[in-house]
Amino acid sequence: MTHDSEIAMHQVERALFDLRRGVPVLVIDESAGEAALVFPIESISHERLDALVEQAGSTPALTLTAHRLAAMGLDGQESAASLSLQPGQSMSIEAIYETAAGATTVPPDGFAAPGPASRSERAGLALLRRALLVPAAVTVTVAPERQTTIEAAVARGELLAVPARLAERCFELGRGMLKRISEADVPLREAEQARFVLFREPDGLREHLAVLIGEREDWPESVPVRLHSSCLTGDLFASLRCDCGEQLTRAVSTIREMGGGVLLYLAQEGRGIGLANKLRAYAIQDQGHDTVEADQRLGFGDDERRYGVAVDMLRALDIARIHLLTNNPAKLVALANGGIEVNDNGRLFGRVTQQNRRYLSAKARRSGHLLQELLGES
């Protein structure tokens, strides 16, 4: 890693942790000479809102993703938009949060019509997504007369500044820098000969596990591989809302039966939105929305997962040719685009229950998962 790359990573890492702690971050668009304070909606309070306005000296806005705006019926936004709080209007924190991530689909009267988000605001949303927070922010553009005060706060270390050009690349900065941390033999019920190898992303936020099943010299030429996104509720607690736990168990036994191979257990809870947001999405699903609609109402896309880390793990394990066990065509495409040779593809199903049928149907219908055989649909 170059010195400049280390500095960039350090700035983004600090920004992620400040946002998770409920601390504002200054995102600077150097090309436009503009900057905005970005604050996560899930930590907002009246005291914090007043402090942000006092510090930046301009009208606060609610910056939302195009997915959230579309769920509210405000289509036509390409990426993100900001809804400014109209002068002279006051609004409860509850109303602001509901507008950002709640069940409401109609913005309160206190907001102006949505306008295009600035580059700083869009980059701020990228940081929130990377930090596994709700991708909605209270943003306040720094007024010209407050620039000196803001610069002084940054110089004293009271406020972190991060360039928009780095923030908007926060998902890419760590590619190729995955670290192999530790490993040990861990006999499993479905495969007594198994070795766990732990990898950590450079920002320290996520750890991923490679489970090596069987003796490597006995593996088929096209190594059986399964990419399994972590699911605390399904894998550990046997939740009936999904089929993840059964898929995990069957993946291990299937790989063993095929002569051995690798299961990549990826820290991608809730299709990449994190456990807190996954539980929020469950609550929205209980109001009658499917799994994709629920994620969109929170401001996320259909599937927030990125599989570059899986490519990096396979390369670190010196695996270039695989037999992929998946029902998700997106995984095939991502691995192939990453230079992994996918010679074959096998399906891997869990069990359909009364509680998970709607979830599985939505994945097949909305996200292209190949589940028609399992669901008995044509």
What pLDDT does 378 receive?
41
In this structure, the answer to whether residues 132 and 210 fall within a common structural domain is no
Give the CATH number of the domain where residue 92 resides: 3.90.870.10
229 is in an annotated binding site: yes
Q: Residue 370 and residue 128: Cα distance in Å, rounded?
A: 31
What pLDDT does 4 receive?
61
Domain's final residue, options 120, 148, 169: 169
The structure tokens listed for 37 are: 């304070």
Q: Residue 29 and residue 37: Cα distance in Å, rounded?
A: 12
Residues of the chain falling short of pLDDT 50: 378
228 is in an annotated binding site: yes
Q: Residue 94 and residue 112: Cα distance in Å, rounded?
A: 18
170 is in an annotated binding site: no
Q: Which of 206, 256, 305, 312 is the catalytic position?
A: 305
What pLDDT does 174 receive?
75
Handedness of CA 207, 306, 246, 285 (dihedral sign): positive
Q: Residue 340 and residue 347: Cα distance in Å, rounded?
A: 19
Q: Is 259 left (phi over 0), alpha (psi -120 to 50) or beta?
A: left
Domain's final residue, options 123, 143, 169: 169
Q: Which of 303, 312, 315, 344 is the catalytic position?
A: 303
Count up the domains in the chain and report the number: 2
Task: Give per-residue pLDDT as tens, 239-259.
Answer: 998 889 999 999 999 999 999
Task: Give per-residue pLDDT as tens, 316-365.
Answer: 999 999 999 988 888 989 999 999 999 877 777 677 776 767 667 766 66
For the chain, give the number of residues: 378
Could you tell me the residue range of the domain that residue 13 belongs to?
A: 3-169
pTM of the prediction? 0.91
What pLDDT does 235 receive?
95
244 is in an annotated binding site: yes
In this structure, the answer to whether residues 220 and 80 fall within a common structural domain is no
Closest alpha carbon to 191 in 244, 234, 249, 231: 249
Q: Is 305 a catalytic residue?
A: yes
